[in-house]
Amino acid sequence: MDKRRYSLAYLTIPGTDPVEQIRIAKACGYDYVSLRTIPMHLVGEPEFLPDRDEVLFKLIKSALTEYGIPLMDIELARVFDFVEFEEYKSAFDAAARLGATDVLGSVWTRNRARYTENAGRIADLAAEFGLNYNIEFLPWAGVRNLQEAITLIDDLGRNNACIMVDTLHAGRAGVTADELKRTPKKYFRFMHLCDGPAGPDGDPVLGNINDELMLKTARETRLYPGDGCMDIRGMADALGSLPLSIELPNLKEIGIRGREGHARECLRKAKELLG
């Protein structure tokens, strides 16, 4: 197998400005960086918008060059019943000019006809800028498991539309390494890597999609690779040598180690487990 390649995802050190995130990625030994340049409009979360801020765009471009860290993907182009496509278009344009190859998205409606139509339009917008659109499934979102994601990608029929597997969400959805191994590799371009705890019965799958453990873990208490119950090695091996973007928010560890120390430990534990 080829050497593993790792990206530092925004949510691992949330709230960090892009230039500092790029510096940290380089200092810790990551191969890529994954930035949040499409805001989620969360209370208290800073917004970094290089498509609207020319000074920030130039600073990011300079940092990518100075530190020799490529921008792999931007997030988060979400699918709703109603989507502001123009907001995505300007973000895609800036991302492409910064050298990105991919966009991450997710679906937040259970209206299959509507989300298929809107995901298709987002994929087409991404294609205008030479970008791939990677749709992540989450147990509490609009597309909740691997099969629903495969169905969506098949329905879209776009060459640049793919599935993004997050090892935590896949484990919670009951996806197995064998399932991933049986799935044609054309569906995947990169993965998200992190670990998480089992439920009270020892099973990674939780019976309630609104379970506090599921939501709290996903948002702020993910575990370092190998410290939880997810079959990270099995899932990573099943998908071969795809880039692994470490998305591992853990507010306690950030408080103890600092942002750079946390990002460094994420990568150390991933390499210890996977190489």
Please indicate, yes or no, if residue 1 is contained in any of the structural domains.
Answer: no
Domain tally, the chain: 1
Q: What CATH number is given to the structural domain containing 70?
A: 3.20.20.150
pLDDT digits (tens, 9 = 90+) for 220-261: 999 999 999 999 999 999 999 999 999 999 999 999 999 999
pLDDT for position 35: 98
20 occurs within a structural domain = yes
- Are 83 and 107 spatial neighbours (Cβ–Cβ below 8 Å)? no
Cα distances from 218 to residues 18, 58, 189, 193, in angstroms, run: 22, 32, 22, 12
Is 187 inside any structural domain? yes
Write the pLDDT tens digit of every residue in 115-141: 999 999 999 999 999 999 999 999 999
Assigned domain for 155 exists: yes
Kindly report, residue by residue over 62-106, the tens digit of the pLDDT.
999 999 999 999 999 999 999 989 899 999 999 999 999 999 999
Q: What is the three-class DSSP state of 233?
A: helix
pLDDT of 142 above 90? yes
Strands (E), the chain: 6-9, 32-36, 71-75, 102-106, 132-136, 161-166, 188-193, 244-246
Q: Which two tokens stand for residue 64?
A: 């990518």
Residues linked to residue 135 through DSSP beta bridges, in sequence order: 105, 163
3-state SS class at 67: helix
Reference 9, options 271, 275, 243, 273; nearest CA is: 243
Residue 79 β-bridge partners = 107
| Collapsed DSSP state (helix, strand, coil) of residue 52 | coil
CA dihedral 262, 267, 271, 272 (to 10 degrees): 0
The Cα–Cα gap between 168 and 84 comes to 29
pLDDT band at 212 (very low <50, low <70, confident <90, very high): confident
Cα dist from 118 to 85, 123, 124, 148, 267, whole Å = 9, 9, 10, 16, 35
Quote the tokens at residue 116: 């298929």
**113 pLDDT exceeds 90?**
yes
* For residue 2, pLDDT beyond 80: no
Average pLDDT for the chain:
96
210 found inside a domain: yes
Q: Which domain holds residue 233?
A: 6-274
Cα(99)–Cα(82) distance, integer angstroms: 29
Question: In this structure, are residues 148 and 119 in contact, taking their beta carbons and an 8 Å threshold?
Answer: no
In a domain, 186, yes or no: yes
